[in-house]
Structure 1
Amino acid sequence: MPQALFRHLYRYRRWYLLLLSALVLALFPNRQAPPQGRHLDDIRHRDFIAVFTRNTPTTYYEGRHGPTGFEFELIRRFADHLGVSLSMDASRNIEGVLDAVRSGEGDLGAAALPLDPTLEGLYFSRPILELQPLVVYRRGLPALREPADLMGRSVGAIRGSGAGLILRELQVELPELSWKEAADLEVADLLQRVENGSLDAAVIYAHQFKLNRLFFPGVENGFELGEPLSMAWALPSGQGLGLLEEANRFLYALQLDGTLDELVQRYFGHDDYLEYVGARIFINDVHEKLPDYADLFRKAARDTGFDWKLLAAVGYQESHWDPQATSPTGVRGLMMLTNPTAEEVGIADRLDPAQSIDGGARYLLQTMDRLPEEITGTDRLWMALAAYNVGLGHLYDAQRIAELRGGDPHAWTDVREALPLLQNREWYSQTRHGYARGGEPVIYVRNVRRYYEVLNYVDRSQQQFFQLNQRVPDEDDDSLFNTVPPVL
């Protein structure tokens, strides 16, 4: 067989196997198979579905308000679709999840599993999410920009994650390539080892790096490696096709109605927030500055009913958490209060961080309470923040402009469009309070929302992150990894 053809068949073998599997199922759907719906009937009879997953920020974890995670959201909806309760086991690694499903201990595996039709004893659902392998490397090393740059580097991967499939394909072209695989580590563990120098690089997935990069400013984005894989659910192959077909119908419906895209965006779509402020600066401030003031934000939140992270986001937008901040116009302190505002809320020392945070929180609450009662929900919060920045009078003027333009004066989306018009004589001449730099409150609210969402992510993920790193005992890394040798 010509060498080029051999390489082509080897590289794309999994796709040919997937196509062959689909053809076999289509042509011989009942051959040596149990009754079509037996497994699904068993689940409905016992009234629960047993799902095995992994305890990671991209799959399933305990958040502030209970279980959450991208795959948990999908599985919870699937259990509701079946009309049964949900039993989750997140104690296994990838290989353990697959073994549990293969043995029948679990009904379904949902653990960021790559679709691999070569695995025996398993069916895989239709693809759920594209998994783009990504090489990341330690900051300070020469840039890794192509596969050849991996030669001579210490490269790590998670066994069973699909990274090994891509690397083995790469070995056909680079037979001297070698890497390390570990079954009992997660993405955070690999990135930590890259940052501290135990590894030079790692192969993970792009969406995993987007979520975890917050905690690892010393890890660089290298290059995409190979073609994307597909994330799918795993099901036991010896119990009929009823559950598989029902899962595929369910996932297809989520794709059609937009729910799947919405979940992907919710969990993996906000990396630009950090890019806006500078990932390294912001996360450094979260770690270095915020702990000095977090308790003060929490106390102010208890007194006013706001989320403490929202108040912290306002403080970052105002001063980058600098209690000595002073503007050319005389606005001062961590929450950048004017003298009249400080007097209004009873603050004697604007440069005292406790007083500034307390005063800023109470002023925001007063501002919100003064808004018309027709403004509800998050619209009320965003407009209060805009008024905190530009003043209530100018916000009322923007509401009037929104109404004159045929919009809803009680909806932030319409008022947001009207605020910049306060800079145009054509419009501000029709208002009570006149000219204002109306574009600034729009940017102000946008930035506070971005900081707030990032802080929400850090808050719900930080405990999970440290749990992942503490899960591995202090032992020599060599005992955690198996080395995949070259194929010379």
Structure 2
Amino acid sequence: MLFERDNIIGVSKYLLLTGCGAMLFLSCSQSSDTRENSETLPVSVSEPVERDFAEIKRNGVLRMITSYSSGSYFLYKGVQVGFEYELLKAFTKENDLALEVVITGPDESPYDLLNSGRGDIIAANYTITPERKQVVEFTRPYNMVDQLIVVSDDLGFKPESISDMEGIPISVRRNSSYYVRLKELKDEGFPVNINIIPEDMDTESVLFQVADGTYEATVADDNIFDAADKYMNGLIKGPLIAESDTIAWAVRKNAPDLEYQLNRFLYKHFRFDEDGVPKRSAFLNVLRKKYFESGNQIADYYSPNYQGEQYGTISPYDNMIREVADEMDVDWVMLTAIAAQESKFNPSSVSWAGAVGIMQVLPRFSEISSDSLYIPEVNIREGAKILASHLDHYAYMDSTNKWSFALAAYNAGSGHLADARRLTIDHNKNPNEWEDVSESLLKLMQRKYYQNARYGFCRGIETVRYVNEIMNRYSTYQTILAHNREKTATGTGVLGLKTFN
């Protein structure tokens, strides 16, 4: 049985090239009782909250803790993408869940975000290490990678062994498997000079700093380096220092049901055969090729042309949406989140119901001609106009409820929302609280409720999910913008990632 092989998956071999060219194999991922572990991770939340798969299902949202990087999660022409994001999105789709992205901010510990309940799973290309296993539980692996030294070409040479790195600082985060491996090598007596850098710098960000000469060297997984090497100049691949690290998702130690469901999903996409050779599903191979082998999408995103005036921080229509939002006095980031949800910014999009354009406006509810609604600016303005009218209708509510009701009306129509509010009153609940009304929207999918409703059957689950996903996307966009402002202030470009020709 393939599951029976799990207890040996965590055993990795490390390849160290010495100065005289000999090879020494070392074990890295042994159990915590056989490996020296004198240092612990920076964790302040020691007791994880009680939130397992059943509660996640009840809430309908799985929260993904990750970093903003091409290997995990980023925006491509306004659309949410990334290897980790797409893989976990497939899991949430199978389980009828919405996926919320929680980007780790400066001075934030992903382990604290997990155990405090702000997130449910760490999906950020994490290597399984005994140090990490002290504070989280890992799923089955879904990838295997090698660690290698990467140096700046400003050094003027290609190191062939770890011994060639004597006197050269290797910059890594303390909260990384790279630090653990370098510390092991240093304890073994090899000439390793470790330079600790800020925790909010993901591997990709550090590679940019190495490429421009800010740092002389770092460590990266081979898949991340291969992807970065396609769109960064100035990187030199150095010696391999770790082989066959297992990559997995991390969950709370008291969430066995969530771990079980994730393992069932991963089993379909990544296994080991009888000889220990990894076997991947077609879906996983497509994702690997898309993000780590072809590199075209990622190269486009970080090219100077892509970051030119025709594109914005979030979408290709940032400037246009800002202008329209200012005219209509609505939040431009929320308007952008709606456009992403409705059409993925495709001006030619047409829904099954006949809604068209970026904001998916129904021609029968617009005074604008159908052909004109395919013009981005016209469509955005019409969508914003409709949204503004809904916001005005619920202006007496607090901000969160006002937006939730306006989004629900934009998606399902004011009639269905009115039915849901009347049903909420019938059940002695608050018709001005989205949490109560969303329950009524779900009830309107049942015959005993919708047969007496003025507007009949409503696909309430779609509207509830629509509101949740847009609110989650809005929060993610705000985080990305905040990161961008911070990095721009320090002169390190979009989210700290410098661009190269």
TM-score (norm 1): 0.49
More helix per residue: 1 or 2?
1
The structure number with the bigger radius of gyration is 1
Which structure has more strand as a fraction of its residues?
2
TM-score (norm 2): 0.48
